[in-house]
Amino acid sequence: MEAVLEVRDLKVQFFTYGGVVQALDSVSFKVNEGETLGLVGETGCGKSVTALSTLRLVPPPGRIVEGGIFLKGENLLEKTEGEMRKIRGCTIAMIFQDPTSSLNPLFTVGYQIAEPFIYHQDLKKKEAQKSAVQLLESMHIPDAERRAKNYPHEFSGGMRQRIMVAMALACNPSLLIADEPTTNLDVTIQAQLLELMKEIQRKHHTSILWISHNLGVVAEMCDRVAVMYAGNIVEIGDVKTILCEPAHPYTRMLKECVPTANQKKGELTVIPGNVPNLISPPTGCRFNPRCRETIDLCRREKPEMVELEPGHFVSCWKYPRKSEKTGSGDD
Amino acid sequence: MTDRMIEVTGLKKYFQVRQFLKKPSYVHAVDNVDFFIDKGQTLGIAGESGCGKTTLARCTLQLIKPDAGSIKFDGKPMGSKRRDLKEFRRRTALVFQDPSSSLDPRMTIADVVGEPLAINGIAHGEEREARILELLKSVGLELDHMYRYPHEFSGGQKQRIAIARALAVNPGLVLLDEPTSALDVSVQAQVLNLLDNLQKNLGLTYMLISHDLNTVRHISHRIAIMYLGKIVEYGSDTAVFESAMHPYTRALLSANPLPDPTVKKARIILKGDVPSPINPPPGCRFHPRCPSRMPICEKEDPKYLEVEKEHFVACHLYD
Amino acid sequence: MRSIQEILSSTYRIWRARIKPRLKELRLSLYIVRKSPLALIGLGIITAFLVIAVLGDFLAPYKPLAVDITNRLQPPSVQHFFGTDEFGRDVFSRLLSGAKYSIQTGVVVLAIAIPLGSILGAIAGYFGGKYDEVIMRITDVFLAFPSLILAMAVSAALGPSLQNVMLSLIVVWWPAYARLVRGQALSVRENAYIEAARSMGASRVRIIFQHILPNSISPVIVRATLEMGMVIIWAAGLSFLGFGAQPPSPEWGRLITEGRIYIFQAWWITAFPGLAILLVVLGFNLLGDGLRDILDPKLRRVIEVR
């Protein structure tokens, strides 16, 4: 299967007054065609930075220091800014957590959805507006033609999110990056949006990189999941394995510390300590100070990514390297 | 002596909305709500945005003046006398959603946690410092932290400081307004465990407001589901979560994603948006989105009835 | 009774708990200041000015009021650094001696106008409603007058003296701070910690003084530093016009007005006091800019090290 996006050994650092923040430490993963890869982790693990790096939108003082980002085989890090602008919003599109600040309050919704059509596909204004209305209809927004003339503040949060999805899909992107798009939505509205996203994926065969800290949403939406901690991917595999039989201690503890509505748990597992300071991260495996299964080796050396089963990769000394070949997402 | 920490009947709160050149209309934020909480128990109030749970919480704590209804606190009806209010304030506490803005950034932690003591004139000088240290230790913090400022702490630590402050004068009732929504997943677990332990050790009564059904299920003994200002279902946590009766509760539970991809659910996807409380639909407020709508639902507001033992529903299906 | 050892150790612990965390903040502040050489220049000027103001009379080589007709209108020389005026008085000494009036005026005016304005602004912002309306309309009335004219009118009504100039400047200055603090209060009161204080039973007075005012004070400090220069210039201006200090006071505004007539024959009588005012105001402006940068929380966090 051809990979739409391949990230190889990506290293991103932020050069701040307090020191150099090692935000991403050799991150590698693939998003295959037509599938949804979930990127799961807590605040500060680097998931948003990963998404922004893909679009080369890492804000200063951050910089991509090493690595490669390949979109259908082409290295995005070698492109000029002009070429990147053509890609953003067209081949790779992104939707964000807060629709309110992602939509310009001064322009009508129809105008904003038409923008990518005019900019990327060189459509005339009238045609672009028609396409915009069509897109709104496919987002199940009732009375689309009239509503295209409304302003963002006249819509509810869930609708604004759908408008943002519409804008992202205008040029039928190969890759859609969704950065916590449902975190601010009510549960029933979230369910609507998830249904919509699944429908889109079925129709257009779009690949999605879905970023979330909510394991439930990930279980709903994703085919494969990558778990991140402190700038590293610690485990990657298909959704059933990761959520039902996780191998990495962090993934296990993450699962155990989340309460669920279908069954009352006793005392929740607590991951002791705090997320590490990425200016001086722990030596060896970055999770070792908080891991309940840590051994001496964990403090000295960073574990490599090992393929436990086909498609299931872990980076943990509990699973030492068996063969010469290591990789991540290699089929 | 009563078993009930707080008992609220007929609570109503309307806000006036003045739109340009139109007659003022009213937002029925809380519309005739009854509930009670037993001592040492937790009532979880769940619902989506606009359902009125935040307003209900603030009316219960008398931070907003309700338009109608009566509140009985520890058996005593709440009057409007200043002395009563001061006593009420001493025996109730509030933990907010956003730990960053609930602590005054210009005050040291010692001052923050000690403020209730200062306001009530309890413990001075060394005695107060000792009490503050005791409170900090009970939530897992140290002497080193006492004279630092809130911005030097993480979200989870700040929330624990807020909890320490809430406990300062030994409250009976603690209102928890989305206490873990702004926190990371692993930190949520710490705070939830802490709240659980404190409740067991100190016999606290909690009123929890949350939109996250998982959190609500975890620490509540009783649950109330709110929709557009009314409680549509109320019962024990097993009753509401496992034998939900109201169609909205059912939809809410089915929409709540679970971290297990093998569970196949029959999804009930509600159409339309969470409605605005400014013009609630006539009859049953849920009827425009209800999959089990009947003709009577558009005309008559269903009564709030006890359908099973201690399990209340407001729905025409159970009239 | 606690033993000496206990007292010492608890003192040490608290000292360590309070001071150590402040050191990091201090280092960051100094770093920002170092990066801004202009602020340092401003600080230098102000410090020099303060030293002169305090020690002026001691540093002056001649008595500021010492008349010496034989030496009138002498240009700057080794004996008289800034020359002499029409009465033979040493301009340099008069300058040094007059510095204190400017600083006094600046400090007194701001020390009264700022608290007055701030408290009223906090009340207006926090309570809203009628309080807000009344207080804001009063400030509107004051702000409707062109400020200099208002100051002159008040001075004229009260009679010419430095004290009355201070009073008139207070009258002119407080409304701007009321506005400023009101704006801050409006946003501060939306914070959860205010609601927390109410839920604990805090009195309104407590909320205003413990919570609203301390959190509204940042822009006030910046503005006060920047405006100190303005107050000094205005006081000098009013004195220049005859409203303030009266002869033979060596207040800088007076020095300028007394030298006005001789500006073509003896430029030094007016020029040096004028330069002095310019430098001092510049110093405060530079310092104020630097202070604003230090206090800006966003700037503090995102500073790139190349």
Per-residue pLDDT reduced to its tens digit, A34-92? 899 999 998 888 898 999 999 999 988 888 999 999 998 889 888 898 888 888 888 99
For chain C, positions 236-275, list CB contacts with chain B under 8 A: none
C211 near C188, Cβ under 8 Å? yes
Count Cβ–Cβ pairs < 8 Å, chain A vs chain B.
124
Query: What is the predicted ipTM?
Result: 0.84
User: Is C20 a domain residue?
Assistant: no
> Looking at A148-152, B261-265, C39-43, C302-306, which range is the least confident one?
C302-306
Which band of pLDDT confidence, cut at 50, 70 and 90, is reported for residue A326?
Answer: very low
pLDDT in tens, B256-313: 888 888 877 777 888 777 777 777 888 888 888 888 888 888 888 888 888 888 899 9
User: Is C90 a domain residue?
Assistant: yes
CA-CA distance, A137 to A127, in Å (whole number)? 15
Q: Does A279 touch chain C (CB under 8 A)?
A: no
Of residues C202 and C306, the one with the higher pLDDT is: C202
pLDDT of A328 reads 46
Q: Could you tell me which chain C residue has the CA closest to the CA of A14?
A: C304
Tell if the CB–CB gap between A17 and C306 is shorter than 8 Å.
no
Which band of pLDDT confidence, cut at 50, 70 and 90, is reported for residue C18?
Answer: low
pLDDT in tens, C235-249: 888 888 888 888 888
User: Is C59 a domain residue?
Assistant: yes
| Most B-contacting residue of C193, C205, C220, C300 (CB-CB within 10 A), to test interface | C193
Q: How many residues does the structure list for chain B?
A: 319
From chain C, the residues in CB contact with B120 under 8 A are 201
Count Cβ–Cβ pairs < 8 Å, chain B vs chain C.
67
3-state secondary structure of C235: helix
B176 near B163, Cβ under 8 Å? no
B72 near B110, Cβ under 8 Å? no
A259 near B217, Cβ under 8 Å? yes
Question: Which chains reach chain B with 3 or more Cβ–Cβ distances below 8 angstroms?
Answer: A, C
pLDDT at A145 over 60: yes
> Looking at A70-74, A111-115, C287-291, which range is the least confident one?
C287-291
| Number of compact structural domains in chain C | 1
Give the number of C-alpha atoms closer than 13 A to the C-alpha of residue C249, restricted to the C-beta side: 20
Q: Note down the domain range covering C260.
A: 25-305
User: Is C7 a domain residue?
Assistant: no
- How far off is chain A from C94, nearest CA to CA, in Å? 48
Among A191, A240, A260, beta carbon nearest to B258: A260
pLDDT of B127 reads 87
Residues of chain B with pLDDT under 50: none
Which band of pLDDT confidence, cut at 50, 70 and 90, is reported for residue C212?
Answer: very high
Among C28, C31, C304, beta carbon nearest to A61: C304
Mean pLDDT of chain B: 88
- Angle, alpha carbons A151-A155-A158 (nearest 5°): 135
CATH of the domain at C214: 1.10.3720.10
pLDDT of A312 reads 92
Question: Which chains reach chain C with 3 or more Cβ–Cβ distances below 8 angstroms?
Answer: A, B
Share of chain A above pLDDT 70, in %: 97
pLDDT in tens, A230-268: 999 999 999 999 999 999 999 999 888 888 887 777 788
B286 near B232, Cβ under 8 Å? yes
- How far off is chain B from A125, nearest CA to CA, in Å? 31
From chain B, the residues in CB contact with C197 under 8 A are 104, 115
pLDDT of A324 reads 45
| Most B-contacting residue of C200, C221, C298, C301 (CB-CB within 10 A), to test interface | C200
3-state SS of B2-32? CCEEEEEEEEEEEEEECCCCCCCEEEEEEEE
Phi first, then psi: give them for residue B299, nearest 5 degrees: -105, -45
pLDDT at C304 over 50: no
User: Is C16 a domain residue?
Assistant: no
Q: pTM value?
A: 0.83
User: Is C8 a domain residue?
Assistant: no
pLDDT at C301 over 60: no
pLDDT at C29 over 80: no
pLDDT in tens, B205-231: 999 999 899 999 999 999 999 999 999
pLDDT of A92 reads 92
Q: Could you tell me which chain A residue has the CA closest to the CA of C306?
A: A15
Tell if the CB–CB gap between C21 and B148 is shorter than 8 Å.
yes
Share of chain B above pLDDT 90, in %: 36
CA-CA distance, C304 to A17, in Å (whole number)? 6
Which band of pLDDT confidence, cut at 50, 70 and 90, is reported for residue C305?
Answer: very low
Mean pLDDT of chain A: 87
Which band of pLDDT confidence, cut at 50, 70 and 90, is reported for residue A325?
Answer: very low
Closest CA to B250 of A258, A220, A188, A186: A188
For chain A, positions 5-64, list CB contacts with chain C under 8 A: 15-17, 60-61
CA-CA distance, B231 to B236, in Å (whole number)? 14
Q: Does C303 touch chain A (CB under 8 A)?
A: yes
User: Is C4 a domain residue?
Assistant: no
Sign of the CA dihedral B265, B271, B276, B278? negative
Count Cβ–Cβ pairs < 8 Å, chain A vs chain C.
18
Amino acid (1-letter code) at residue C92: F
Q: Does B106 touch chain C (CB under 8 A)?
A: yes
Which band of pLDDT confidence, cut at 50, 70 and 90, is reported for residue A28?
Answer: very high
Instruction: Please report which residue ranges of chain B form alpha helices under DSSP H.
Output: 53-60, 82-91, 99-102, 109-120, 125-138, 155-167, 185-202, 213-219, 237-242, 247-255
pLDDT of B83 reads 80
Mean pLDDT of chain C: 85
Q: DSSP for A129-154, please give it.
A: HHHHHHHHHHTT-SSHHHHTTS-GGG
Q: Does A191 touch chain B (CB under 8 A)?
A: yes
| Most A-contacting residue of B49, B185, B188, B220 (CB-CB within 10 A), to test interface | B185
Output the CA–CA distances (angstroms, integers) from residue B317 to B35, B230, C84, in the order listed. 22, 17, 103
Which band of pLDDT confidence, cut at 50, 70 and 90, is reported for residue A175?
Answer: very high
User: Is C1 a domain residue?
Assistant: no
pLDDT in tens, C62-115: 888 888 888 888 888 888 888 888 888 888 888 888 888 888 898 999 999 999
pLDDT at C34 over 80: no
Token pair for B123: 């413990």
